[in-house]
Amino acid sequence: MIKRLRLTLSYLRDKEIPVVKKLLFMASLLYFIFPADIVPDFILGLGLLDDVTVLAFIWAAYKAELDAYEEKKRAGKTGEARIIRIDSKRKED
């Protein structure tokens, strides 16, 4: 757990990781914490169901992203992990 937290902090501090990825991670956590979301929590069952769904998605993406980042870090290539892909170039037809 501590190792994963340290890896997360390293990921968030890494200047080679795009700011958009870092903001997506932080925004997803805020969505889970913030009480006003798509389905209000006071609606029994459904209010928590959307939170659990978002949390499951966040957890899967977070785990995969950090695993890829850790692998690149071990290999000495701390650059961008490619699980959450952010394309800055548009394809022209």
Number of folded domains in the chain? 1
* Residue 89 placed within a domain: no
Tokens of 27: 């925004």
* Residue 38 placed within a domain: yes
> Measured between alpha carbons, how far is 30 from 47 in angstroms, rounded to an integer?
16
pLDDT at 91: 52
> Measured between alpha carbons, how far is 66 from 10 in angstroms, rounded to an integer?
10
* Residue 87 placed within a domain: no
Classify 76 in phi/psi space as left (phi over 0), alpha (psi -120 to 50) or beta: left
Confidence of residue 73 (pLDDT cuts 50, 70, 90): confident
* Residue 9 placed within a domain: yes
- Domain with 56, as residue range(s), is 2-74
pLDDT at 2: 87
* Residue 85 placed within a domain: no
> How does pLDDT run across 17-66, given as a tens digit for each residue?
889 888 888 887 787 777 676 777 677 777 778 778 878 888 888 889 89
The label of the residue with tokens 């209010």 reads 47
Residues 74/3, Cβ–Cβ less than 8 Å:
no
Is the pTM above the cut of 0.75? no
